[in-house]
Structure 1
Amino acid sequence: MVYTKLEIKDRRGDSALQSHCELCQINLCKACVGDHLSDSSIRHNVVPYKHRKSTPNVNYPKCPNHTEKHCELYCEKCDNSVCSTCISSDKHHGHKLTDILQIPSFIKEILNNDLKELEQRIFPTYEGIASDLNSEKIILEKHYEKLTTAVTKQGEEWHREINIIIVNKKKFEIDEMKTKHLAALNKKDNEIKKIISDVKQCIIDLKKILGSNDVSILTSAYKSRNTEFRSLPRKINISLPSFSSHQINRELLHQMFGSMSALFITTEEHGFTMKTLETVFCPPIKPLLHEPELITTIGTGFGPLYSVNCLSNEEIWTWGNDKIMKLYNLQGKLLKSIQTKSGNIPCDIAVTSSGDLVYTDYSTRTVNIVKNDQIQEVIRLQGWKPYYICSTSSGDLLVIMDSDNYTQSKVVRYSGSTEKQTIQFDSEDKSLFSSGFNTQSTKYISENRNLDICVADNRAGAVVVVNQAGKLRFRYTGHPSTNKGTFNPVGITTDSQSQILISDYNNHCIHILDHDGQFLSYVDNCDLPCGLCVDTRDNLFVAEYLSGKVKKIRYM
């Protein structure tokens, strides 16, 4: 006979209640203890009734299936609260049950972590940012003072150049023209004066002859020059120079004077993302299972199988060495097949936040989207070839691409067909990603919940993680506990806890890292794992390369 903690005493009185299960919060009589402990899947804690802990003053949630009962336990496998009647049913047989009173401790742990982060990291960081802004204001004053000085100096030089080169040169040209003009007039003046002198002399000579009675003088001493004088000398015509001032072309003047580089005000990430209030009320942190559980296996007909992407918790897109992309449900039923527009094998597939399928076509240099079973070209590249792709929480596309000569590799963020961001070099202008063409040059990409961009660089044998601004956060090159062979990342995904999961092809396992790149655990029940994805319940889907199977695994 079982008594709930809400019952003060049973029909036979308090004396019959000899035991109490602190896990189930149930009072037990002597005859019922053995039956209660018979389920070995539940770690009961039965104590003498007198030694039971006082019942906490807690508003337990009502059971949706048994309205007269309150839920005092939490079923981790079913992910919901259960009452004592639920436990006695076969539905939860063998499931791991947790005291629901432990759930608030998870929330308090989150609150304490938030408080610690606020006090030790966020608040000092903001104070540092404020201090940096004040320093930048001081630098700003000095910088703009230098700009003003430079412009003033340029103006003074222009005034000097205008006076020396332009004004003085024009004055010299005027003086030179005046000298030439005056010389011409003086020459003509001397010519006329000489003629006047000759005319005067002729007049004098004629008067002298006319006043003489000497016949010889009258007949031979005079020779007329009137004909010569009648032919007047050529008149000098000189056009006076003038000065025409040109209208000042202010635009050209500004261009000639000098130019200012544009003022660009941009923002970038500080290296971490602030938590929202939703974080405080999020579900408890899910611990990793010591032994991950295989839930189901789905055959795809592909061989080999490269990729798997969750359309929903019940449907997955797959792609292998074929021009056909296939949609399956978890029972292995083929729901839809889409052939690439070009007839080429796609390089990678992804599912957008709106549920549309996108794929990259290496041969045509395009990124394509499937809407209502119709394929539309979204991006066409020149000089670069698209490889692997993922869709972000904001609806952007992140595309990994290589240059045509395979000497460069980069990640480009697109909003629709508009390029928004390029990630290629670290702070020392060194390439973040490996380059070169061979069978091991592939790279796989995923966005984390903290907006980090995670790239599994197969050629480099490393996972490269950068923040939203493209700054390097860390590199991961494997862990000794998993390295039977060389670390060979060929797939990557992230979960609700911002954990990073990486397929290690050579070592037949999945590495699990926290958001800072610390190794947590691994999943090893996979055969040549390749593509990965996680559904909204944090179930892991693994595409096995050779078998062509997709395994659904519970690891948290």
Structure 2
Amino acid sequence: MAMSKPGTQDAGQHYLVCNTEGCQSNCQFYCKACLKVMCELCRDEHLKNPDNKKHKVVPYRQRRLHLPKENCKNHPTRNIDMHCDDCNIPLCSQCCTMEDHLRHKLVDLETIYYENCAECQGKIRQIYQYFIPTSEELRQETKADTTEIKKIMDDIRTSMKAEGKRLKKLVEKVILQKIVGINDVEKSITAMLQNQGKIYEDYISYLKDVVEEFSGYLSSTQLLGNPMISTMSGHLTINSIPQTTKPFPPVFTPGQFSEEDVSKLLGTVNASKYKQDNRAIKPMETLKPTDQMKQDEKKSDVKQTLSLSSFVTKVKEYTGVRNAYHISLGKSGSGWVSDDDGNLVQTDLQGNALQKIKTSSEGTGYHTVTQDMDLMYADRKKHVIKRITMDNKVTEFIKTGDWEPLSIHSSKTNGDILVGMKKDNVARVTRYNKTGREIQGIQRDNKDQKLYSNPHYITENINGDICTSDISADAVVVVNKSGHHRFSYSGQHSRFLPWGICTDVVGHIIVCEGFFGNRAVHILDEDGGFLRFLLKEQDNTFPYSVCIDDGNNLHVGTYLTNKVTVFKYLQ
């Protein structure tokens, strides 16, 4: 698929509504910092805000980012418009014909520029849509904690004074000492919270500086030395949101009155012995996608804590479906397992059948469970995707026309539906949104070669990659979210027939190989590197299907048995 240029407006769209909430006016302007369209009135209000004083707002027609024009030093009459990946330098078209760059990989500079612009704009969106609002929420939380701590300390003071009244003059003498201690505790906690508030204020200020820096990349008119024409990995780094601890309020312990030990009678106020909890920072994937921004973020916190275990441990197994060709698990403790005869069975984790559906599909990954716990499955004969809700209401959700749907996967990040399909000798992967509207078709690579032959299993990785098992291509084919081919994995032997496929929270790609003597489950990293075999030739079974549950356990369905076995493989 050709990459669209940043900021282009859809053909035939003559009226664009202002992005300001509650405003339905026609947009006339575009803020390059916020990446929002706005009407004239909202533009004026936007620029009045002190936080936006450095924002550049331009007429909507001038919103596009263009590759800066710069003459080649070696050929002054030519503009620099190409990039040599081998030499990592920009060139003009005449330089490309010189002997120094023969057989080098040359890339259109405008393509690199637009891709980096899009990445830079995405980072700016993240700052405005996630980092700043999240940091502000945390700052406000510290204020609320300060108020709460003050209230708790006031309650403790009141309790202590009530005790003191009963002990008259002797109590009054001791209670003054206790009040001093309480004030010290409050002062210490308040100082800590104020310091945390200052940390987030400084971080928000830093984020605004980063926005200014990234905006500078976008508005630069220089080409040489401009990071927008080369890799941006070292320039688009955003420091993580600072982690602070949430205070645990002190607890007042009432004492028993006696003249011998007034201090004990009045009780004690101690700082909490409990471990202070880190403040909850909402993950980026909780952001709702908008027309201009859809966030996807790797679960890096999970990556830092989970890795492949040295040993694979069998957790349990359940029975009920012979020849388990595909498994779809939901969050309700039940799942769907299909066989090679069109039977789709819902079972609990003990293997008890809850319901059974007869379908026209068999031997592929033709069903999935959505974010709403609905079942979706492909009807290969009727060329439709059917949806069954929790109350067993059946609808024809998507009609695929002349294309025969083979495999289906519901995205866990945004609810998109990915469908592998074929027609005659042509195959493709189609993306639909949650309403069933087609939004993407993936069929060929950047060399116009076909990507797929028979995508009979499909899944999505945590980085947005679309991973398919292609039984006719003898490979696992992986494209990125934009549909660009990243890599193909062809196994570890001369012949490789991939079957069931899934990914885990660490980004591993897990795929079954059930034929030609290997009979193993392959584990790859998210870039296609082979890591290890799991369950290689175990018990003379043929692993056909794999699925990950919420506990990060691997469910493996096998051919010629009625068992699904659950393994723990991460530590």
TM-score with structure 1 setting the length: 0.47
Length-normalised TM-score, structure 2: 0.46
